[in-house]
């Protein structure tokens, strides 16, 4: 059974998260800047008497996550993000309510890692400019899609 406990700050975002998945424990501690954007996550986990710690830092441009740097002390993964600056992320507030952390202002266009992986994002929209479908293409050729239904306008 999965049990997650969020500890929220005055903006409704998670300062920390405790996860228990049948003996695997994870504690995430988040730090936010003055704009309310998550800038750092320290994750500590324990599984079968093995303790692990990793850190992820986040950088933003115009309210969009531009760079994510993950490190576990032995390995570092850097991901750079690009956005469609003319396409508003209408699901921002809904995503924030589900994830308890900030979301991007615009729709993601591309993610590129220092290991050479590239992920591209394309969208189909309704007449109001809201996403109906997200198509994700991965560098190895795989494609996935998500469909969205908007009940409130």
User: Per-residue pLDDT tens for 12-40?
Assistant: 999 999 998 887 889 999 999 999 999 99
- Asked if residue 111 lies in contact with residue 79, where contact means CB atoms within 8 angstroms, the answer is yes
The pLDDT, as a whole number, for residue 153 is 52
Angstrom distance (rounded) from CA 28 to CA 91? 24
Angstrom distance (rounded) from CA 87 to CA 85? 6
Q: Which residues of the chain have pLDDT under 50?
A: none
The pLDDT, as a whole number, for residue 97 is 86
Which H or E run contains 119?
Answer: strand 118-125
* CA-based end-to-end distance of the chain: 36
The pLDDT, as a whole number, for residue 145 is 96
Model-level pTM?
Answer: 0.89
**∠ CA 96-4-63, rounded to 5°:** 20
Which H or E run contains 98?
Answer: helix 92-99
**Three-state SS at 2:** strand
**Three-state SS at 93:** helix
Q: Give the CA count within 13 Å in the CB-facing half-sphere of 15.
A: 5
């Amino acid at each position: 059974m999965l049990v997650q406990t969020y500890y929220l700050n005055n903006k409704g975002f998670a300062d920390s998260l405790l996860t228990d998945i049948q003996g695997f424990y994870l504690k995430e501690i988040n730090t936010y800047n003055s704009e309310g954007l998550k800038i750092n996550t320290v994750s500590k986990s324990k599984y079968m008497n093995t303790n692990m710690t990793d850190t992820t830092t986040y950088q933003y441009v115009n309210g969009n996550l531009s760079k994510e740097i993950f490190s576990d002390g032995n390995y570092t993964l850097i991901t750079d993000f690009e956005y469609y600056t003319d396409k508003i992320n209408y699901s921002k507030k809904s995503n924030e309510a589900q994830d308890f952390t900030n979301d991007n202002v615009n729709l993601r266009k591309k993610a590129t890692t220092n290991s050479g992986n590239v992920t591209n994002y394309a969208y189909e929209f309704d007449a109001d400019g809201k996403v109906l479908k997200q198509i994700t293409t991965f560098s190895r050729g795989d494609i996935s899609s998500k469909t969205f239904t908007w009940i409130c306008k």
